[in-house]
Amino acid sequence: MIDILANNPLLLLFTVSAIGYLIGRINIGGISLGVAAVLFVGLAFGALDQRLRLPDIIYLLGLVIFVYTIGLSSGPGFIASFRRRGLRNNLFVGGVIVVAAGIAVVLRMILGLNSAQTAGLFAGSLTNTPALAAVIEQLSQRGADEVLRTEPVVGYSVAYPVGVLGMILAIYLTRRLWRIDLAQESQQLREFGAVGEHLINCTIRVTNANVDGQSIAELVRANGWNVIFSRRQHDGRIELATGAARLNTGDLISVVGSPEAVAQVTAVLGEPTDEQLMLDRHTLDFRRIFVSNPAVIGVPLRMLNLPSTLGAVITRIRRGDVELLPHGDTVLEPGDRVRVVTQRDNMDRVSAFFGDSYRSLAEIDVVSLGLGTALGMLVGLIPIPLPGGGSFSLGLAGGPLIVALILGWRGRTGPIIWSLPYSANLTLRQVGMTLFLAGIGTRAGYSFFTTITQGNGLFLFIGGALITIPVAILTLFIGYKLLKIPFSLLIGMLAGLQTQPAVLAFANEQAGNEAPNIGYAMVFPTAMVVKIILAQILLG
């Protein structure tokens, strides 16, 4: 059987993936490994025989697809995060990595390691291949012999698996020990766009004479309301509640928003009523419509000016499994479903305007995807100079991520729409993650177990654990207990500190929202650069 798998890489890939997904579904105490189990299965298969390793192209392709799709979906939240303590979080992560380097120095003295082994141990325990590459490049420039150039690789290969497993174990244990209810964090995470909003619809009777004659737009500006007015009843007639509509005592107005926001509106306008503005669907009508028309994707709703151009109001946006309240600066993405209220005889025109094609949501713009990933890979190849000589590059993990963050934030450039339909993004992300985990697992398995059983491999393994685990615990304790960072966001930051997509996959499995992706993208560039610099400093 081993011969068959060794001679058929695709068979090995699908076998590891299938078994990994089966194991990942096992639920113990409410927690499961999910797709991260593919990594462990890959390690087990790789340990059986050194021939059981997938080609480089498998995990490299998976890595590029995974980080690029993560970047596209995290772009808007990434930009928003820097308006909300993003600088502080990056300084925090950078400081923890400096602590990790300090631990490596102490281990060097205790274990009697040379500088090359120490630098490799540091790079492996924090799972950063570019840092290892920078160390090897420095050794080559110094004219080091082949034996010395392999020592960082040995330290890296032994510490790398524990760098992944240790972080996953730390997330699992701290969530259990601190009894963290991730559902309670939803309010904190809304500011990052990581979760949807709990929206309600309320009918308010206008009883406050002070608002007589004021337009809805004037009232919204004066009070800073974060709601949507959908319909109003005036003199027994139901009509769209546009910004220009002026309220009068006795009017009924339908409001959509969070319970807190709706209560603020009610306190100013009047009182809630059980009367419902039942639509006479021969006049006004409502419908959920798929957004598939490229002309409206990536354009702020303010610029579309729907009430004036189409006589329509969007009351809710459903993106994936969450509902969002639309604002003037909200940008529609392919695959969104908008709930629209308009005249019945105008509904077909509105549907055509948004596209309303379910089939197109499963299609991927190969031009956009190809250009974006190619640009990301090119950026990853750019050499970035370091103080004192030498250089590094962001590689296939950093380049596509940075470019995708920018493109995801931009949304579109002229006719090119960078964002992907929500369902297509998730599918590509999952495929990429599976390819990556299966690839690195099978490739690391044999050398990991071989090195552990030979020479000083066990000491290097323990050394790697003594860097990884304290770093993970320190990050989680300070971040959650002292800095009050939401745990869902924090475990993504931990994965970003580790620059490790496998840890991010586990974090996503635990959180069930986009917060880990935003945390990962927020600190990844800083973590990458700091680790590359410190690895070379450790080399001396």
- Three-state SS string across 339-359, please? EEEEEHHHHHHHHHHHECCCH
- Amino acid sitting at position 29: G
**Cα distance between residue 139 and residue 13, in whole Å:** 35
SS3 content of the chain, % helix, strand, coil (to 5): 60, 15, 25
Q: Which of 152, 103, 155 is nearest to 468 (CA)?
A: 103
Number of domains into which the chain is organized: 2
CA 298 to chain CA mean position, Å: 19
**Cα distance between residue 450 and residue 15, in whole Å:** 23
Q: Is residue 209 part of a domain?
A: yes
**Last residue in a domain, options 336, 358, 380:** 358
Check whether residue 340 and residue 392 sit in a common domain. no
Angle, helices 501-511 vs 487-497, to 10°: value is 170
Q: Is residue 155 part of a domain?
A: no
* Range 394-419 burial, b when 16+ CB lie within 10 A, else e: bbbbbbbbbbbbbbbbbbbeeeebbb
CB atoms inside a 10 Å sphere around CB 147 = 8
Q: Is residue 273 part of a domain?
A: yes
Question: What is the DSSP secondary structure assignment for residue 34, as one 8-state letter?
Answer: G
Check whether residue 170 and residue 212 sit in a common domain. no
Which pTM value belongs to this model? 0.68
Instruction: Please report how many Cα atoms fall inside a 13 Å half-sphere around the Cα of residue 377, on the Cβ side.
Output: 11
- The pLDDT score that the predictor gives to residue 242 is 79
Question: Using CB atoms within 10 A of its CB, is residue 472 exposed (0-12), middle (13-18) or buried (19+)?
Answer: buried
**Cα distance between residue 75 and residue 403, in whole Å:** 10
pLDDT tens, residue order, the chain (540 aa): 787 888 888 999 999 999 988 888 877 655 566 776 787 788 888 888 888 888 888 888 888 898 888 888 777 766 766 666 778 888 999 999 999 999 999 998 888 888 888 888 898 899 876 677 667 666 766 666 555 556 776 777 778 778 888 898 899 889 888 888 766 665 556 555 545 567 788 888 888 888 888 888 888 888 888 888 888 887 777 788 778 888 888 888 888 888 888 888 888 888 887 766 655 555 677 888 888 888 888 888 888 888 888 888 888 888 776 778 888 878 888 888 888 888 888 888 888 888 887 777 667 778 889 999 999 999 888 887 766 666 667 777 778 888 988 898 888 888 888 888 877 888 888 888 889 878 877 877 777 677 667 666 778 888 889 999 999 999 999 999 998 888 888 998 999 898 887 788 888 877 777 778 888 878 877 887 788 778 878 877
Strand partners, 452: none
Q: Which of 71, 48, 154 is nearest to 525 (CA)?
A: 71
Q: Which of 397, 410, 407, 400 is nearest to 379 (CA)?
A: 400
Q: Is residue 253 part of a domain?
A: yes
Phi/psi at 305 (nearest 5 deg)?
Answer: 50, 55
8 Å CB contact between 155 and 447: no
Question: What is the DSSP secondary structure assignment for residue 514, as one 8-state letter?
Answer: S
Check whether residue 352 and residue 484 sit in a common domain. no
Strands (E), 190-283: 200-206, 228-234, 237-240, 252-257, 270-272
CATH number at residue 313: 3.30.70.1450
**Cα distance between residue 211 and residue 218, in whole Å:** 10
Q: Which of 538, 394, 413 is nearest to 97 (CA)?
A: 538
Check whether residue 338 and residue 307 sit in a common domain. yes
Check whether residue 87 and residue 222 sit in a common domain. no
Check whether residue 417 and residue 531 sit in a common domain. yes
**Last residue in a domain, options 307, 338, 358:** 358
**Cα distance between residue 253 and residue 239, in whole Å:** 10
Check whether residue 308 and residue 424 sit in a common domain. no
Residue 261 host element (H or E): helix 259-269
Residue 259, token pair as written in the block = 């319970």
- Amino acid sitting at position 312: A
8 Å CB contact between 133 and 153: no
**Last residue in a domain, options 341, 358, 375:** 358
Q: Is residue 402 part of a domain?
A: yes
Check whether residue 136 and residue 175 sit in a common domain. yes
**Cα distance between residue 150 and residue 127, in whole Å:** 17
Check whether residue 479 and residue 532 sit in a common domain. yes
Compute the CA torsion angle 20, 48, 443, 533 (nearest 10 deg): 100
Strands (E), 180-226: 200-206
- Which residue has 């990429």 as its token pair? 432
Q: Is residue 252 part of a domain?
A: yes
Check whether residue 251 and residue 184 sit in a common domain. no
8 Å CB contact between 339 and 315: yes
Check whether residue 403 and residue 329 sit in a common domain. no
Check whether residue 379 and residue 511 sit in a common domain. yes
Q: Is residue 19 part of a domain?
A: no
Domain of residue 298, residue span: 196-358
Instruction: Please report how many Cα atoms fall inside a 13 Å half-sphere around the Cα of residue 283, on the Cβ side.
Output: 9
Residue 239, token pair as written in the block = 């009509």
- Amino acid sitting at position 71: G
